[in-house]
Structure formats: structure tokens, C-alpha cells
Structure 1
């Protein structure tokens, strides 16, 4: 059984929006048209935001490089979340995934949160 929705603590990271939140879309395999992604259980519209995550250095530590991550949001985050805004994630989780398409395998980690909170 795969682990899903593992709680993740991002308090030790600075999170800056690199792409403002938008409706999450996917291509319909039958029609080729783009359509909104909804939650399988609730039917609620999903959103996605791109963040640059960089570790907050502790005294005497080097901060290191950061990483851009995409986070699926379970609700519309509302207004005021523009590129360059620093945020915190509300109830963030991560889930490993894998799939196979046309004999090609891919895997990774997906991030999900119940919302965004602006910092500052």
C-alpha cells in the first residue's frame, strides 16, 4: 500500500511565489481538450501555485540552493498572491507517485496544501 498525504513541515523554508495560483488543468485523453482538475472525493476545483523553496539558514550554516516546487491547493487561495509574495502553506502534505505511459515510467513527489497564508 502506498503512503499518501504524508504531513510535511515547511516552517524551516522561505517560500516565494514564482507563478501565481491558477486553476489546475489537465488534457482530456479522449478529446485532447484542457479541462479543470477536481478532487476525486469532493468534486472541488483544484488550483496550483509554483513556489521557490529555500532553507532558512541557522546561525553558522550555509543556506544552500533552493528548489522550485508546484503545490496543488485544495481551495481557491483568493486575491493577493502575486509573483514575489512570501507565503506559508496551510496543512501541507506530500505523496509519492508513479505512472507508466506508452512503456515509459516516471515517478516523483507531489505537494498539496489546504491554502496559502501571506507572510509579512
Structure 2
């Protein structure tokens, strides 16, 4: 876990356990893009030049018998590797090594989610190298 000073101490890359939630793909994974100062779209890469991907998921808590599940929420997750094929809209997935970070910029703030990848529900998660 790394700590960054940005208007105070902010904890980054906190491991997050979403196993008690159903995660459904609402927008299939695509390359993550950003707009440069000239208005040109560019692919987002990490410090090693590896392309990043983004997927939109609907996250909803799994209710236990007799419980109300409550409302869900759509989250965007940055994937640090190409997730591959088979993650179309409506597919249920699990995230691999998911983390969450708090951010603040220009008077706005929020949470950003990252994961090393994702697997279809019921599939074996890859072992970290």
C-alpha cells in the first residue's frame, strides 16, 4: 500500500473484497483512453508502457435468505492487463486482486477501482506470479 500527500494523507491501493457482491458487466472492456491538451484521444498506459483497459460493472450485494440486498451501483474498473475475450454485457465476473483508491482533483473527489484482471463467475482465478 502506498501513501500519497495530496491535500493531506490519502491511502491508495487498498485491497477490496467484493466476493459478497454480484458483478455484472454493463459495458464490455475497452482500451482506457484520455484526451490530451490538443483534444486527441490517447491510450492510457502504466509506467512500463502497458496498455490499460476499463470495464463498467454493476455491483450489487448478495442478500442472505431473509435479507434485503439493497440497491447496487455501477463502477468503472481499470484493468492492468488485457482481460481477453468473453466478457460481454450481462456476463457475471469476479475481479482479480481488486483495489480501491480515494482521489481528489479540482474540487471533486471519489473512489477509483483497479484490478489485475477478471474471470467469469465460477472460473478459477489465475495465480499471481
Question: What's the TM-score once normalised by structure 2's chain length?
Answer: 0.86
Whether 1:14 aligns to 2:16 is: no
RMSD (CA atoms): 0.8
Task: Measure the CA separation in 2 of the matches of 1:57 and 1:70.
Answer: 22
**SS at structure 2 position matched to 1:82:** coil
Structure 2 gaps, min length 5? 1-8, 123-129
Higher relative contact order (CA 8 A, sep 6+): 1
- Pick from 56, 76, 98: which aligns with 2:104? 98
Q: Partners of 2:76 and 2:89 in 1: how far apart?
A: 14
Aligned residues: 114
1:45 equivalent to 2:51? Answer yes
Q: What TM-score, normalized by structure 1, do the two folds share? A: 0.92
Partner of 2:41: 34
Q: Quote how far apart the aligned CAs of 1:60 are.
A: 1.6
Segments of 5+ residues of structure 1 without an aligned counterpart are none
